[in-house]
Structures are given as C-alpha cells and as structure tokens.
C-alpha cells in the first residue's frame, strides 16, 4: 500500500525512515510493506486536527451522531474484508475476529446514541446555597486528542477511543500499532466516504519514533494510550511536560477465583476462555488461577487435559480454537517464559513448549503450585500461560488475588452468589465477572487501578474522558 496515512482528509505516502513489514503469523512471513510516517507528518496531522477543531466542537450533536452511525454501518458493509484481515494479520480464529468487528460496530452505535443526547446535558442549572447568583454547567470537547492503540485488539481498541472522542467534539490523531497497521486504515476510508470534515480524523502509522512524536507533541490537549507499562510510563512523562490529561490502559496479571462449589466443566470453560482467547494476548487475561483446596485435585488434571485438546492452527485453513501469537517478538517472549519455568522447576500439567511447525505457535499451558515469587506468577506474559495456586478460604483467596502490582479485572466462580458478590466487592480491580466468560459490553466501564492504568473507557465514562466541564456563574 503506497498511501498508508490519512492526514487532513487526504491519503499520503509515508515519509519516515522505517519500513513496516506486515506479517501473517500463522506462516511467519510478511505479506506487504508500508513506509512509516515521519515526525513532520505527525506535525501536519496535529495541525490539521487543530484547524478542524473549532468547527467540529461546535457542530450540531445530531450531525456528529450521524457520522458515528455512518461509521457503524460502513464497518458492517466491510465485514468480510475486516474479518479476513484480522485472521491473517492477527492470527485470530474466525469467531474471535467476528466478535471484534461486532464490538467495534456496537461502540460507534452506542456513542452515536450518546451524541444525540448531548444537547440535553448542556446549560444545566446548578443549585446554589447563596442567593443572588445563578450557575449552569457546560460540557465541552477537551480539544485535539492523540490516540495510540496496540496490536492485540486493533479494530476494537481504536473504536473505543475514536467514537467517544468524535462524539464529544474532539478532533483526533490516531497512531496504530506497527504490528497491525492495516485494519485501522478502514476508518480513514470510511471518513472519506462519509465526507467527514478534513482534519477531524487523522491516521499516522509507524514505530516508536512516530509514537514519541505524537505523545510529546505540544499541539495535543489530551492523549489516550493502550499498551505496555514501559511505554505507558514514557507517555505519562510526555503528558507531564504539558500538564495535560492522559488516559492509560496498561497491563494486567488478573486472577480467576474458583470455589469448590463450582461445576467443574463450567469452571473449565471460563478458565480456558480467560487465558486462551486471542492466544492469551490480552491485558485482561486471567492468567492466575486460584482454586479452592476442595476442588483442586479434581479440576486441575481435567483442565490440563482440556488445554491439550484445544485445536491450535492457522485460522485461514483450519477450524481452530486458538491461533498463533501475533508477532515474532511475542513468540520469543513467551518462549523465554517457558525457559524460566524450566529453570524454576515449575510443575507443568499441559503445554510448556513452542509448537514445532511453521508460524508463531505455542501450546496452551498450565503450571500448578506456582510460588508467589515466581516471575510467571508476577509478570504479565501476554500468552496462553496459566499459573495455578490453591487457597483454603474466602479470605485467603482475596488476599492472593489482591497481591499483585496490577488491578485490571478478575473472575469469580461460585454457586454461592452472595459469596461471589462479597469477593467481587473486595477485589482491587476495575471489572469483575461472576460465573461468566469475559463478556465486555460497551455500556460498562473498562479500566483498572494500580499498575493497570489511569481512567476509564466505554460507557458514559468513556465519553466524559473527552469532555471538559465548564461552569458559568452570574450575579442576578
């Protein structure tokens, strides 16, 4: 693709030094190349967003909603192409790629609905205790926002940011991941088809140089980043230089707590979904399994057998349960943790190896009785590696689950719903599932505490992240 960047309503060839090789992870081979944007092109994209801001932020809310509905419709019209691209570039099984597309469509539709009601929230009177004054509230766009998204859920994460930002009246500069730089280009195509005003949405791709140029740009009013803690820390430092707001959705090392009153087959389904969806390449992966003593001896061997039976392969040629890891770098990282597990003499009930075949495949893996000091227990791996420990009581489970540098999500499995609710309330995370797979709905919030980030996405909280509050007070 010769024109992979969308700046000021026009497609542009890359002017950067880097050439991005786009890989098919099931084969370990590149299928196209793109030239990255240059820092100067980032400047032009930010300048375009700045020029477009005054008209966009004061545009009719119904008009913004119309464009967002248009994005949702156009994504649906590209269904086959976008699903196939995710299967090829991310290695996602078809059913996962379908869920991702449906999530993106639902996100644009939801924020279109919120945009339609924004006028009703303006100029709301505020009750004052002191007579002789009146006050009312306005919600206004934060301004020009930079959005940096990762490679594990590219179509989804970008929708979670673009849709609320546009609904709020912000203009956008989006930087996709260099690992999956193609699928977000659909948003530029759709913007052009819909006649979205030039500069409202800009897309510049590249490696770290482009991300650094965007996150440190003086022309931004806010930055929203999803990715690793290491890069998130640098993004936060850049934001601090300008004292501007930042939303960070970072890593996780989440727990799934299984009590001994659970149906074993159902529990195994929830456990596997939490660690093997997207080959475990999820910040929300429930990679720490806490299983109560009374059920552990029955559950763990059957869980190992179930992991061994998962069909791992190429989503474009086989019916599979799990695809490859998305990049060679991630394959190398996960392989390194297999080596660490061997060095630490961990007990492996399933997997523990890279698969000897073409592409970046690893086996779904289960380690049991993993010590709390093990690197596999404490560090985010981003692969289908599950570590299990036993617990005796509800209090013990809560203590083990909360003993983490991260605080993104958790799952609680118990037939005693009152106990499950107690445990959910005690867990130091941003989202808890009870007796469920990780079903994510656009109406609910997403984000966590501790090392998992700052702020929330989705729901009305996702919209408010792109709004500034203004109060107008006058003397009567």
Residue positions annotated with a catalytic role: 249, 283
Q: Contact 212/239 with Cβ under 8 angstroms?
A: no
Nearest to residue 25, comparing CAs of 306, 440, 334, 249? 334
Question: Could you tell me the CA-to-CA distances from 204 to 75, 347, 389 in Å, in that order?
Answer: 20, 46, 44
CA 171 to chain centre: 21
| Matching residue, tokens 């030094």 | 17
Q: Contact 63/55 with Cβ under 8 angstroms?
A: no
How, if at all, do strands 365-368 and 385-391 pair? parallel
| Matching residue, tokens 């770290």 | 208
**Cα distance between residue 358 and residue 76, in whole Å:** 33
Strand segments (E) across 81-216: 124-125, 133-141, 144-148, 171-175, 201-203
Type and span of the H or E element at 67: helix 61-77
Largest CA-CA distance found in the chain, in angstroms, rounded: 78
Q: Contact 402/427 with Cβ under 8 angstroms?
A: yes
């Amino acid at each position: 693709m010769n024109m992979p960047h969308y700046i000021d309503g026009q497609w542009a060839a890359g002017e950067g030094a880097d050439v991005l090789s786009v890989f098919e992870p099931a084969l370990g081979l590149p299928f196209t190349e793109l030239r990255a944007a240059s820092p100067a092109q980032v400047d032009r994209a930010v300048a375009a967003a700045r020029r477009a801001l005054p008209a966009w932020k004061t545009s009719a809310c119904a008009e913004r909603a119309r464009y967002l509905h248009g994005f949702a419709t156009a994504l649906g019209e590209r269904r086959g192409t976008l699903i196939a691209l995710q299967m090829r570039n991310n290695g996602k099984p078809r059913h996962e790629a379908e869920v991702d597309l449906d999530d993106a469509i639902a996100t644009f539709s939801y924020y279109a609905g919120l945009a339609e009601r924004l006028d009703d929230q303006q100029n709301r009177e505020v009750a004052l205790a002191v007579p002789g004054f009146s006050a009312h509230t306005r919600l206004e766009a934060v301004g020009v926002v930079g959005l940096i998204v990762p490679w594990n859920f590219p179509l989804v994460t970008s929708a979670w940011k673009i849709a609320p930002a546009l609904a709020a009246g912000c203009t956008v500069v989006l930087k996709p991941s260099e690992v999956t730089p193609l699928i977000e280009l659909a948003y530029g195509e759709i913007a052009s088809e819909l006649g979205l005003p030039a500069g409202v949405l800009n897309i510049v791709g590249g490696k770290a140089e482009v991300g650094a140029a965007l996150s440190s740009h003086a022309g931004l009013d806010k930055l929203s980043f999803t990715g690793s803690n290491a890069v998130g820390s640098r993004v936060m430092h850049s934001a601090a230089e300008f004292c501007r707001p930042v939303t960070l959705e970072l890593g996780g090392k989440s727990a799934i707590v299984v009590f001994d009153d659970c149906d074993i087959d159902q529990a195994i389904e929830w456990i596997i979904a939490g660690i093997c969806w997207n080959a475990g390449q999820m910040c929300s992966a429930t990679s720490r399994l806490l299983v109560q003593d009374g059920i552990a001896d029955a559950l763990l061997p059957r869980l190992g057998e179930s992991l061994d039976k998962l069909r791992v392969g190429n989503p474009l040629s086989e019916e599979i349960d799990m695809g490859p890891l998305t990049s060679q770098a991630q394959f190398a990282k996960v392989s390194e943790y297999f080596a660490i597990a061997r060095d630490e003499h961990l007990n492996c009930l399933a997997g523990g190896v890279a698969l000897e075949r073409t592409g970046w495949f690893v086996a779904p893996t289960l380690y049991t009785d993993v010590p709390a000091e093990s690197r596999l227990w404490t560090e985010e791996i981003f692969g289908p590696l599950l570590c299990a420990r036993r617990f005796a009581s509800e209090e013990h489970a809560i203590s083990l689950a909360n003993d983490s540098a991260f605080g993104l999500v958790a799952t609680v499995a118990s037939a005693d719903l009152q106990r499950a609710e107690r445990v959910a309330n005690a867990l130091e995370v941003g989202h808890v599932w009870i007796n469920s797979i990780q079903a994510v709905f656009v109406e609910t919030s997403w984000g966590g505490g501790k090392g998992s980030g700052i702020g929330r996405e989705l729901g009305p909280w996702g919209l408010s992240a792109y709004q500034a509050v203004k109060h107008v007070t006058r003397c009567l």
